[in-house]
Amino acid sequence: MEIRNSLLSRTISFLRFPMIFFILYLHVALRGWSDGGIVEASHFVGYEGVRFFFVESISRIFVPCFFFISGFLFFYYSDFSRSVYCSKMKRRFRTLVVPYLFWNLFAILLYYLGDSFVPSLMSRRFGNLDEFGVKEWVMCFWGINDGFPINPPLWFLRDLIVLSVLSPLVYLAVRWGRHWGVCLTALLWFLWGTATNGFVAPFFFVAGAWLGVKRIDFVKQMLPWRKLFLCLYVCVMLLGVAMRWWELAAGIYLQKVGILFGLCAVVSWSACLLERHSLENRLLEQSSFLVYAYHALPLLFLAKLSVYCFQPDASWELLLLFFLLPIVVSLIGIGIYALMDRYLPGLLRWIGGR
């Protein structure tokens, strides 16, 4: 068994913040300014092209990567048994369920404050919160927003909670079904999976679980192939995303293959850097969950506010906002974490996913 400060553990810890940071770009929703009013970003072809290629070729890698690592960690460091399962469920209630409930409540509070004080910036897509019934309040925590909870990025946490509860079935599938469980979920994802539907989480979680149950150090296995992974990722992903840009149906399948090569490239090159340099930053690693959990609505608010304040009427201005806003939101999140770690460590322990 690998010790906790091994290259495997260091690589996983190091990747936490970069993965969260690039996921933020999936949620940047900007509009442009033209003839004295707001227009859709699709009017700015240069911006849309760069944004599309950046998000679809880079940011799309990291949600699958999170599921993969989560499945691996669930099974790698201990043999699976009833007592281990109960222990993991108790821990995940504190590190997953409680934060999930809190940050959805946080989103509800922000929506309520927005409706009360800056209604012009609110879309009211959910209607009036004051008129919600029991069903609407319950769906806020599951799928009120086109299948997403009211805090949309937390769909990942929701699916991870479900997979954790169903982990005995996952264990049986990979322990006794051998590689067939991975192959089946891979086929379902490849044929019908989208960026966020129900086929993404099972495949990557089960793939990670298979490696964890088999005690396979995937970092060690991927490291020698890093150059090949990078070349294949760049070639396949760019071709797939370009085909999607030109609305060619086969592009989505090439993009999925590119995601697999991209995951391997990210892991192997991160491990390579950590072998040569000391790049760990505990503040970034520990604050990553808070940045992930809080970012959606502040990022949306800042995007809308930026359009009103700066009135971007050129692609380069929109691109500047696109790349800067996640940096600003991340820095604010890191600052919030640092302050809470100093003054409210008890609360942070419950809502910070630790």
Torsional sign, CA 141, 181, 61, 213? positive
* Distance (Å, whole) CA 182 – CA 304: 42
Cα dist. 281→286, 331, 343 in Å? 9, 14, 21
Q: Which residues contact 327 (CB under 8 A, 6 or more apart)?
A: none
> In sequence order, which residues have a C-beta less than 8 Å from that of residue 115 and are 6 or more positions away?
122, 124, 128, 129
What is the four-CA torsion angle of 91, 92, 94, 95, rounded to 10 degrees?
A: 110
C-beta of residue 203 within 8 angstroms of C-beta of residue 189: yes
Distance (Å, whole) CA 341 – CA 108: 24
Give the model's pLDDT for residue 42: 85
Number of CB atoms found within 10 A of residue 125's CB: 9
pLDDT, position 132: 84
Residue 306: both structure tokens together? 């930026």
As averages over each run of 10 residues, the pLDDT of the chain (354 residues) reads 73 96 95 85 93 97 96 92 94 95 93 78 70 86 86 95 96 87 94 88 96 95 97 97 95 96 98 90 95 94 91 94 97 97 95 87
pTM for the complete prediction?
0.94
**Under 8 Å between Cβ of 254 and 243:** yes
